[in-house]
Structure 1
Amino acid sequence: MTKPAEISVTEGTDKNLPKEKFEELEKFIDGLETTKGTLIQILHKAQDIFGYLPRDVQLYVARKLGIPGAEVFGVVSFYSYFTTKPRGKHTISICMGTACFVRGADKIAERLKEKLEIEANEITEDGLFTLKDVRCIGACGLAPVLMVDDKVYGRVKEEDLDNIINTYRNQEVKQ
């Protein structure tokens, strides 16, 4: 049975990242029966805790597991689920697959960039949205398609964008 390495929670970490989050991640890793074969599971938990996987979090995971940082980075950079940059509270993914592109996804994307005042992979000033282009959502019959978090919006028109955006902005006001 492999046990995680004993290291200080904040050893070599960015001082801007909360110590409490490292402690939460450490508790999760230490609670695993074994760490063999759990890198992806641990990275999912780390991204859930921090919201993204900055270099210091990746190195922390590598040290805890006793593996090279390059191995952790290789996994993080390979899987599109993982991100090394902070994201907004809600991720808007615009499908740019052939069916969606032919039906105007590029125009939808440009209009969203204007409305949110960001480019792809950026965060709105209020921290509420991140905009992503994706290759395919798998709902070609509903093209053009966009997703906000896990909710799919099909046959989207430019005039639908205000309602979609405001749905999530209004949720924030109510909270």
Structure 2
Amino acid sequence: MTIKEIADENLQPKSFEWTDESQLTIDKILRQYPAGRQASAVIPLLNIAQRQNCNWVPIKAIELIADTLGMPRIRVLEVATFYTMFNLIPVGKWFLQPCTTTPCWLRGSDEVMSCIKDKLGLFEHYASTSDGQFTLLEVECLGVCANAPVLQINDNVYEDLNYDLTGKLIQSLKIGKMPKCGSMSGRQGSMPKNGPTSLVSLKNSDGVPTWCTKKTTS
């Protein structure tokens, strides 16, 4: 289980206000809820606050969200501390979230974790490199079990990783380049690693798949 930390007071900003862009988005979101039900928008507003504040949510943002939605501040904090998607301490430019749940573990998530430790010296929750570029958070299922092991970096998910591929990914990030997300082994979607095995020979004489042709009756 992830232990959710809250940033020390010296790291907390003295104030937090919505930008004009954030306020427009919030107004649009709140119109989706009937009167008296605005508290249901707490997760979208936490997401907006986090994106506005370099990928973490300060206490002043918690207070502003509570005031915006007319709900107790402790209830906003309860939501923010429950979900791993919300960071309550500053994180690096590249936020690494490797999945180590059973499918990923069986497929080699230990290699991914070992590479992150060897290349970056990170092995604890919310540990960051000295230059502030990378932060690590081990997470539960990312929902891409068929292409395990996987690693989420900011909003992108990288699949089919091993030690070497994770190392190449980290090296690209070090020079400021984010590779295309998806399978790092080159496979398409979640097909078997050696290529498709089903519906590969069901074609007519014109080379058209038989399930695409319409049968007619006399």
Task: Provide the TM-score with structure 1 as the length reference.
Answer: 0.73
Q: Which residue of 2 aligns with 1:43?
A: 46
Please name the residue that 1:146 is paired with. Answer: 151
RMSD: 3.1
In the superposition, relative to structure 1, how do residues 110 and 63 fare at CA in structure 2: closer, same or farther (>3 Å)? same
Q: 1:80–1:87: structure 2 CA closer, same or farther, 3 Å change rule?
A: same
Q: Structure 1 residue 74 and structure 2 residue 69: aligned?
A: no
Match of 1:53 in 2: 57
Measured at CA, do residues 111 and 26 of structure 1 come closer, stay the same or move farther in structure 2, by a change above 3 Å?
Answer: closer
- Within a 5 Å distance, the mapping from 1:148-167 to structure 2 comes to 148-167=153-172
Choose from 109, 115, 118 the match for 1:114: 118
Richer in helix (by share): 1
Match of 2:17 in 1: 22
1:127-138 aligned at under 5 Å gives the runs 127-138=132-143
Of structures 1 and 2, the one scoring higher in RCO (CA 8 A, sep 6+) is 1
- 1:145 is aligned with what amino acid? V
* C-alpha distance in structure 1 between counterparts of 2:11 and 2:136, whole Å: 28
Which one of 125, 128, 135 corresponds to residue 123 of structure 1? 128
Distance of aligned partners of 1:25 and 1:134 in 2 relative to their CA distance in 1, 3 Å threshold: farther
CA contact (8 A) 1:123 1:129 kept: yes
Alpha carbons 1:113, 1:120 under 8 Å: kept: no
Q: Where has structure 1 moved over 3 Å in runs of 4 or more? A: 13-16, 63-66
Would the alpha carbon gap of residues 29 and 74 (structure 1) be closer, same or farther in structure 2, given more than 3 Å must change? farther
Find the counterpart in structure 2 of residue 168 from structure 1: 173
3-state SS in 2 of match to 1:92: strand
* 1:153 aligned counterpart, secondary structure: strand
Gapped regions of structure 1 (runs ≥ 5): 1-12
In structure 2, relative to structure 1, the CA distance for the partners of 1:56 and 1:142 (3 Å cut) is same
Which stretch shows the higher mean deviation, 45-54 or 121-130? 121-130
Identity %: 29
> Which one has the largest radius of gyration?
2
Matched, 1:95 2:88: no
Question: For the Cα contact (< 8 Å) 2:151–2:159, is it kept in 1?
Answer: yes
